[in-house]
Amino acid sequence: MKRLIIPALILALMLSGCGFTEQLETVKNEYIDPAVERYESGETENDGAAPQVSAPNIATNRERLTDYEPFEAVYSRADGALIETLEPSGSYGRLLPFAGGLVTEQGEIVLDTVCSSISIASYEGDSGPVYLDAYILGSDDGLFAVCGADGAWCTGFEYTGVLPMELGLLCIEDLDSNLAVCYAEDGSLVFDTADFGELYNLQAGSIESLAQCGSGLMSIVYVNGQKGFISADGTVLNRASERASFFEDALPFSNGLAAVKNNGVWGYINTEGEYAIEPAYGEAQSFVGNLAAVTSSGVWCVIDKSGTVKREFPDVTGVTIARSYVEAGGKYYTTGLEEAVFYEYTGIPCEGGFWVAGANGVRMFRNDGSQVYFSGGVELLGSSGELWLIELADGSTAVMDAYSRVVAAGSCSFVTDVATGATYIFEAGSGKLYDSSGYFLGSGCTGLVIDGFMLCEDGASVGWKSAGDTWVFRVAKTGAD
């Protein structure tokens, strides 16, 4: 009984909404201690019945309690039965994924939630992520299918893996046997490795290297571990010429050139298989833009696509080239290979250049020589297109444009429409989404935007909204009350 008395009284106080700390001593003295004493002394009341619990009579404030109002679902169906297979059609428009299913922009379900996963196909290109107009569908048994983002084509669940790449989607049928097919974004067959005349020459289980693709040429690994390149029609680069068609080592094509190694020395070949830069280097990295890092006589240096040494870096153990900067020996350099020091401030790399914090704001020095100033800023947190996320002196953040005008304020970040590439401003805390001009588009957003439609959710529902905070598709959230 003692165990029941104390929790009951504490629960009464918690439900009352009153200050527990302030009333605890009073309740203990007036109710808990006397009740415990009666119990321990064996005292009973009500003709021998168990002692009754006395508790303060506290009125509960019920003003904030409201009746549950179910949300209005927004969707339609082409068929009343469960749709387990996507029926290809050219009339859907852009399809939107939801919880393992697909729905049209008009809110019509064309595939129920039968997939274990649906992801947007993308790969890393020379200039950043590249999104394909295709989805990768996963099944509960670990197999995959692919379909067009418009639903005009779809495969069956017959692949053990899918790798997005420059030529499309590499769908693996049998990894050990190097059997795979590649589909373009429109669903057409780009190639089938079963048709490759060189298939027997490839190292078992190496077919995934085809996804390392640039300038239309894919990397291959021969049975002896040497490397080469192959085109979509199955032709090995240089096979029909006197030039080398296999190398001791090779890096994927990047910005039109590939680093290759023979006889312990690295050089660079072009897409014709000819040496654009003759072998002369002990180490070599892929080109990033017009620059690559190599070692010559043990010294790291940076060369351009003509092979001209742009700058040497003695006494460093490595050089890193990014799209916006060069790093060597712990120091940063511009893409023009000048030390990143501006007005005696050391620049900090950012997308498109460097930034420094001055007494009255943040200034960005672009790689093209132009500058952008953000009044009142103390740190540049990120950028997207012609918008920058700035931390202000009072600790708050703001999105500013190139004229130092505030577009949005709050805990913001940038998200990109994976279909159009448009930039949006996202407030993760509130779930609000704004366009690049600061115009409010919707609330409850998750940060995923496809073709202008926003994936949104609340405690009970999930779905897609259009600009104007309007649901175009809304269903109950799995596991919601």
pLDDT in tens, 44-77: 555 555 555 455 555 556 565 555 556 788 888 8
Share of the chain residues as helix, strand and coil, in percent rounded to the nearest 5? 10, 45, 45
SS (H, E, C) 171-219: EEEECCCCEEEEECCCCCEEEEHHHCCCHHHECCCCHHHHHCEECCEEE
CA–CA distance from 67 to each of 16, 63, 299, 458 (Å)?
A: 19, 11, 75, 18
User: In whole angstroms, what is the distance from residue 115 CA to residue 97 CA?
Assistant: 10
The residue behind tokens 């790798």 is 163
Cross-strand partners of 239: none
Cross-strand partners of 332: 327
Phi, psi dihedral angles at 160 (to 5 degrees): -85, -15
Q: Quote the crossing angle between the two packed helices 2-16 and 20-27, to the nearest 10°.
A: 140
pTM: 0.81
Tell me the domain boundaries of the chain: 1-65, 220-284, 288-339
Maximum Cα–Cα distance across the chain: 111
40 neighbors 27 (Cβ within 8 angstroms): no
Residue 301 C-alpha from the chain's centroid: 33
Strand order from edge to edge, sheet including 189-192: 161-165, 168-174, 179-183, 189-192
pLDDT of residue 1: 45
Residue 249 C-alpha from the chain's centroid: 31
pLDDT in tens, 165-208: 999 999 999 999 999 999 999 999 999 999 999 999 999 999 99
The tens-digit pLDDT sequence of the chain (481 residues) is 444 444 444 444 444 444 444 555 665 677 667 766 766 676 655 555 555 545 555 555 656 555 555 678 888 887 778 899 999 999 999 999 988 999 999 999 999 999 999 999 999 988 889 999 999 999 999 999 999 999 999 999 999 999 999 999 999 999 999 999 999 999 999 999 999 999 999 999 999 999 999 999 999 999 999 999 999 999 999 998 989 999 999 999 999 999 999 999 999 999 999 999 999 999 999 999 999 999 999 999 999 999 999 999 999 999 999 999 999 999 999 999 999 999 889 999 999 999 999 888 999 999 888 999 999 999 999 998 889 999 999 888 999 999 989 998 888 899 999 999 999 999 988 899 999 988 999 999 999 999 999 999 988 889 999 999 999 999 987 654 4
CB neighbour class for 223 (10 Å; exposed up to 12, middle 13-18, buried from 19): exposed
Residue 50 neighbours by CB under 8 Å, 6+ apart: 1, 44
Angle at the Cα of 186 from the Cα atoms of 180 and 187, rounded to 5 degrees: 35
